[in-house]
Amino acid sequence: MELSDSLRRRHSTRLYKEEPVSDDEILMLCDAATFAPSPMNSQPWHFHVATGTARRAVGEIMALTTQYLEEYIDVLGTEGVDRAARFYGDLGKAPVAIAVSVPVLDDPAEHDKVLIGVGAAVENFMLAALDSGLGCCNISAPRWVVDRLVEAFRIPEGRMLATLVIVGHPDEEPVPHDRKHDVVTFVGR
């Protein structure tokens, strides 16, 4: 697929088939991620991959978050909260959950730069997944269960959870994108 098509066709997948994803496929996607830019080429990311029993443990932790989602009722509405609760309840049956960790940094500006690098890496990962017929969804690590997730993914001391990505074979049609277009201002020529 042409890159320009991939960029437009990538979407977040929230329902997956039972079909497993092989370790080699995951390694290939993580390798694609590592070609992303990062501040001073620090490559701050590490990918902690949960499959099988580890994936089930992550699912049980994520399911705990459904009790807190009411906090978002003003943003998501009742239907949105219900949808989020269903999704967090089983992570769309995705066979693989990946935690992306970064070093703990004292300087907030340095931390922000690291997260921009992680965003680029995750986008690479997701585009490579699309190219392989796989789907993904980036999930902001829910603050209520971060410590449990850090433990389940065995993220070592000195590192922290930046984001989660789930991966699998999509079992849903792509949802049409809703995009803002008025996002560019030329400030001089």
Ligand X SMILES: Cc1cc2nc3c(=O)[nH]c(=O)nc-3n(C[C@H](O)[C@H](O)[C@H](O)COP(=O)(O)O)c2cc1C
Chain residues binding ligand X by CB under 6 A are 11-12, 14, 87, 137-140, 163, 177
Give whichever of 2 and 24 is closer to ligand X, judged by the CB atom.
2
Give whichever of 95 and 142 is closer to ligand X, judged by the CB atom.
142
Report, in Å, the least distance between residue 87 CB and ligand X.
5
Give whichever of 37 and 52 is closer to ligand X, judged by the CB atom.
37
Give whichever of 49 and 127 is closer to ligand X, judged by the CB atom.
127
Q: How far is CA 163 from CA 87, 102, 133, 138, 159, in A?
A: 16, 9, 22, 7, 12
3-state secondary structure of 101: strand
Q: What is the chain's length?
A: 189
Report, in Å, the least distance between residue 15 CB and ligand X.
11
Rounded (5°) CA angle 92-96-91? 20
Report, in Å, the least distance between residue 90 CB and ligand X.
13
Report, in Å, the least distance between residue 186 CB and ligand X.
26
110 φ/ψ angles, rounded to the nearest 5 degrees: -65, -40
Point out which residues pair with 46 in neighbouring strands.
101
